[in-house]
Amino acid sequence: MAGYQDDYSMSNNAVLARNEDKLPASDFAKRIKKYFPGVAAADIAAALRTEEYHHTSKHYNITFFYSLDQLADCESRAALRAAIAKRKAAEKAAKNMPDIETGCDIKWLEWSGTRNYPVAKERAAENCAIIKGAGKFCTVVCPDGKEMKKGKDTNGFEVKRAGRKVWL
């Protein structure tokens, strides 16, 4: 029964597999979303074993198919829930990671003197790393290890990378 449908979307064997409740990971995830909220195709691929593969599209791509019967097994359901939790934790950790700009040249003002007679000295450093925070401040790490916290919109504080100003 090899061959393709008229529109070349999937092989005849892939159509037969769909009729036997064997689905690609993306369709599998759509089908079980009601029972496993937040499931993604990547979770299916990570937790379940492939039943078979078929060629799809006019380029004969290999697409793995998964059987819905696997969810009858408690171990498979537990593995799927663990895969969903692991992916969500990784996404949350990536979202909370600070944004870092490296190779920046910075200029800032260093203030001394008294309140009535302030004295500003312009300082500069090259090849620094800027750790952007969520609030109004960022952390500057110079190559010599010196760290300083600066307000993103402080007058006299300028960050350039490759000669262009970086917006914090």
Task: Please report the pLDDT score of residue 130 as a whole number.
Answer: 87
Which residue ranges make up each domain of the chain?
12-95, 99-165
Higher pLDDT, 14 or 9: 14
Q: Check if the beta carbon of residue 76 is closer than 8 Å to that of residue 129.
A: no
Average pLDDT, the chain: 86
Give CA–CA dist 86/163, Å, rounded: 41
Note if the pTM is more than 0.85. no
The secondary structure element, H or E, covering residue 120 is strand 118-132
Residue 152 above 90 pLDDT? no
Task: Please report the pLDDT score of residue 134 as a whole number.
Answer: 66
